[in-house]
Amino acid sequence: MTIENVNEVETEVKRLQKRIDAIKKRYSNKVDYLSGDDIFRGCKETGALKRAALDLKMELTKLT
């Protein structure tokens, strides 16, 4: 494990948080947001969130 790996993980965590905030902002006015319905399917924010999560997962594997 190197400091570069740690910094890359930190960067990906911040990127993931931005994607989470974006999807929450898009659906903050929806009633179904809190009901657990799958209202996030098919929007660009969902794709971005999934890509960010996968990138974070790849960076985390470098630490283990």
Q: 3-35 pLDDT, tens per residue?
A: 999 999 999 999 999 999 998 888 776 655 555
Domain boundaries, the chain: 3-63
More confident residue, 44 or 52: 52
Residue 52 CB: number of other CB atoms within 10 A?
20
pLDDT at 59 over 90: yes
Distances (CA, A) of 3 to 20, 24, 42, 60: 26, 32, 37, 13
pTM for the predicted model, two decimal places: 0.77
The whole-number pLDDT of residue 1 equals: 84
pLDDT confidence bin for 63, thresholds 50/70/90 = confident
Quick one: which of 57, 62, 64, 58 has its CA closest to 4? 62
